[in-house]
Amino acid sequence: MTNVQPLETKRKRAPSKRALETKARVFDAAEKIFAISGYDGATIRDIAAQAGEPVGTIHHHGGGKKALFHQTVARRSDTLSRVRLAALDQAKSADMWGIEAVIAAFMRPFFDLLAQDPAWRDYARLVAFVSSDDRWREISAECFDPTAQIFLAEFQTLLPHASKQQVAEGFAFSVAAMLALLTSKERIGALGAGHSTEDAQIDRLIGFCAAGMVV
């Protein structure tokens, strides 16, 4: 008699509500500490203290420091890419086409997300760290480059006489200006005689970057 043994399948249980809340708290804390201290200055112990969790919980949800940083940057990138591409499609459908429209589709969604949730300012600081440090080229390639390439293609279409290198440089300079406004708007107020509204600053940023793209 042949014994037929049933195939055993291991089913992963869905995370409990408590586990999901703990994980969110860990990544919120990591985002805050990395934004304040940078990658090199942040410690797992600092993140644990910010989260109100033991160090072992940080390792459980995020792995080591490098893996945690990668996951923290990746966590919001899909949302940012989705709203940027939606803004680009909307601009196209409304026949609002031109350099300023493409730049606005790329930049305004970040400011809109920040208006909804102040934590996006910490995320902008992480993006600035990643953008300025070649150590994180892999993170940029995964999280930001696919969307960036779509926008670069639109710029190239609008600027047919510019080289690919010129378009890439103009885009990189524009991203740096955007991140500066997202992360250090108080500095502008300190340098200026007064304070512009945020909408006015964003409009000036878009106009400034559009002018730079065609130089």
Residue 107, pLDDT score: 98
pLDDT-derived band of residue 197, with 50, 70 and 90 as boundaries? confident
Query: In this structure, what CATH number is given to the domain that contains residue 176?
Result: 1.10.357.10
Phi, psi torsion values for 52, nearest 5 degrees = 70, 35
Query: In this structure, what CATH number is given to the domain that contains residue 28?
Result: 1.10.10.60
The domain of 146 spans: 76-213
Residues 128 and 54 occupy one common structural domain: no
Longest dimension (CA), the chain: 92
pLDDT-derived band of residue 11, with 50, 70 and 90 as boundaries? low
Q: Which structure tokens are listed for 30? A: 């990591």
CB pairs under 8 A, 24+ apart, for 143-148?
143/73, 143/74, 143/77, 144/77, 144/81, 146/81, 147/80, 147/81, 147/84, 147/85
Does the residue 2 lie in any domain? no
Which stretch of 81-95, 105-119, 194-208 has the lowest confidence by average pLDDT?
194-208
Looking up tokens 């809109």, which residue turns up? 112
Residues 53 and 106 occupy one common structural domain: no
Please report which helix (H) or strand (E) contains residue 210, including its range: helix 198-213
Does the residue 4 lie in any domain? no
Name the more confident of 155 and 17: 155
Residue 13, pLDDT score: 67
d(CA 210, CA 194): 25
159-181 pLDDT, tens digit per residue, is: 999 999 999 999 999 999 999 99
Helix axes 119-132, 17-41, angle to 10 degrees: 50
What rounded mean pLDDT belongs to the chain? 89
- Sequence-distant (≥ 6) Cβ neighbours of residue 195 within 8 angstroms: 189
d(CA 174, CA 154): 15
Q: Is residue 5 predicted with pLDDT exceeding 60?
A: no
Residues 51 and 105 occupy one common structural domain: no
HSE-CB of 13 using CA atoms within 13 angstroms: 5
